[in-house]
């Protein structure tokens, strides 16, 4: 499988999180969750389908494949871990700035940063 980028992970996480509250996720819900255009979502969904991380069924509903689910679940774990640690750092960041930083760090830090010794 080709490399999964930070942007891919953000989209996978959005589908993962949305699918926990609604039975079928569509491009409109993803666009709203990520504050991006629907055409951007459509392009990214095509990329994720090519990578075998999700499937798109009739009427535009998308579902994570097993591989996509595992990637999104792991990314959610990393994001949650960092979100718990960030307040202790005492940084003067807005909630939006904190989330942006957490998403970037979760995508690039090595696994050893998330394992307890």
Q: Report pLDDT digits (tens) over 56-113.
A: 987 889 999 999 999 999 999 999 999 888 877 888 888 888 889 999 999 999 988 8
Same domain (yes/no): 35, 18: yes
User: Per the structure, how many domains does the chain have?
Assistant: 2
pTM: 0.88
Same domain, 83 and 52: no
Q: What is the pLDDT of residue 1?
A: 40
Q: Is residue 117 part of a domain?
A: no
Cα dihedral 78, 83, 84, 87, rounded to 10, equals: 150
Domain membership of residue 35 (yes or no) is yes
User: Same domain for 35 and 79?
Assistant: no
Which phi and psi angles does 26 have, rounded to 5°? -120, 170
Q: Are 64 and 79 contained in the same domain?
A: no
Same domain, 21 and 51: yes
Range of the domain at 77: 71-110
Give the CATH number of the domain where residue 20 resides. Answer: 1.10.10.10
In a domain, 1, yes or no: no
| DSSP H or E stretch at residue 15 | helix 6-19
Whether the per-residue pLDDT at 3 is higher than 90: the answer is no
Indicate if the pLDDT at residue 18 is higher than 80. yes
């Amino acid at each position: 499988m080709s490399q999964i980028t930070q942007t891919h992970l953000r989209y996978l996480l959005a589908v993962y999180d949305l699918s926990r509250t609604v039975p079928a996720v569509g491009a409109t819900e993803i666009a709203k969750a990520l504050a991006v255009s629907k055409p951007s979502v459509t392009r990214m969904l095509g990329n994720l389908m090519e990578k075998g991380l999700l499937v798109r069924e009739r009427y535009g509903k998308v579902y994570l494949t097993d591989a996509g689910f595992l990637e999104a679940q792991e990314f959610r774990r990393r994001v949650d871990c960092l979100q718990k640690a960030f307040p202790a750092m005492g940084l003067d960041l807005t909630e939006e700035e904190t989330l942006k930083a957490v998403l970037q760090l979760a995508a690039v830090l090595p696994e050893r940063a998330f394992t307890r010794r």
